[in-house]
Amino acid sequence: MIRDKRFMVEPAFFRSLAAAAAAETLPRFRQHGPVSNKLAAGFDPVTEADQKAEDAIRRLITAAFPQHGVLGEEYGSTAGDGEHVWVIDPIDGTRAFISGLPVWGTLVGLTQRGDAVAGMMSQPFTGELFYSCGSGSFFEGPGGERKLQTRLTTDLATATLFTTTPALFKDAARARYDRLEASVRLARYGVDCYAFAMVAAGFADLVIEAGLQPYDIVGLIPIIEQAGGVVTRLDGGPAETGGDILASATAGLHAAALARFND
């Protein structure tokens, strides 16, 4: 839910964050740089680009809003006024980044009293910026600038669905996911934050993901909501805390997808 009296973020500020991050990520993209693993068992990659981009974003936020808190994937949390928290994923889709695929993005979102009220997703290799600043959702990039609007899809049978991979849904959740996928017209895998941007832009209808962290989703919630869509956890709760997440182009489609998954 978006509250009244939202904190307004100027588009120019999101542009400055996107540019600062791009200055760190683009020179390292497709350069075969070193990759570290955060996990003792499994694989959760992190690169110098992740760390340098988050540092650059944090510096700009702290300079502009010194009273605000910050939560980032790479460097954790910094306390603020208790009301405003900026949430950063410097490279959402690091696996895509190290694989040379341009579907990763830089995510920055602002929460006010726990609600995501503004956010951006920048894909610098393709020159695209998706953002919401409290007065709608917008695109800047190839083809010009435009206001974003989700599709008006309400029927699962005509919907396009994205997920990173069905393998993230375990045990009974995998059977529920398979049932939902069987109900839609088209399913596509593996495009990370770009999938959520495509829902906001009106090219897809559903994104379902398992086990997201707040920095994976906070920046994307306002972009979809302010374009006309809905984002919640699969249990219907608020998505800002992360978890198993569903984003939909319309409220009717969201209700139908939740019912199908949770039946």
Per residue in 51-98, pLDDT (tens digit) is 999 999 999 999 999 999 999 999 999 999 999 999 999 999 999 999
**56 close to 49: Cβ distance less than 8 angstroms:** no
pLDDT at 149 over 60: yes
Structure tokens at 1: 């839910």
39 confidence band (pLDDT: 50, 70, 90):
low
Average pLDDT over residues 156-172: 97
Q: How far apart are CA 229 and CA 249, in angstroms?
A: 4
pLDDT at 119 over 50: yes
| CA 253 from centroid of its chain's CA atoms | 20
Question: Residue type for 202, please?
Answer: G
Q: How far apart are CA 175 and CA 33, in angstroms?
A: 38
Sheet with 128-132: list strands edge to edge.
Answer: 76-78, 69-72, 84-92, 105-112, 115-123, 128-132, 137-140, 146-147
User: In the prediction, which pLDDT does 109 show?
Assistant: 98
Structure tokens at 89: 């994923």
41 confidence band (pLDDT: 50, 70, 90):
low
| CA 87 from centroid of its chain's CA atoms | 11
Contacts of 110 (CB under 8 A, 6+ apart): 7, 9, 68, 84, 85, 86, 87, 116, 117, 118, 119
39 or 167, greater pLDDT: 167
Q: How far apart are CA 46 and CA 24, in angstroms?
A: 14
Average pLDDT over residues 148-167: 98
Per residue in 171-187, pLDDT (tens digit) is 999 999 999 999 999 99
pLDDT at 1 over 50: no
Structure tokens at 215: 């920095």
35 confidence band (pLDDT: 50, 70, 90):
confident
DSSP string, 93-128: THHHHHTT-TT-EEEEEEEETTEEEEEEEEETTTTE
**93 close to 105: Cβ distance less than 8 angstroms:** yes
Per residue in 194-222, pLDDT (tens digit) is 999 999 999 999 999 999 999 999 999 99
What Cα–Cα distance (Å) separates residue 45 from each residue in 94, 97, 138, 165?
A: 7, 10, 31, 17
Angle subtended at Cα 177 by Cα 175 and Cα 181, rounded to the nearest 5 degrees:
115
Contacts of 181 (CB under 8 A, 6+ apart): 161, 163, 166, 187
Percent of the chain with pLDDT over 70: 96
User: In the prediction, which pLDDT does 3 show?
Assistant: 44
Structure tokens at 146: 């435009």
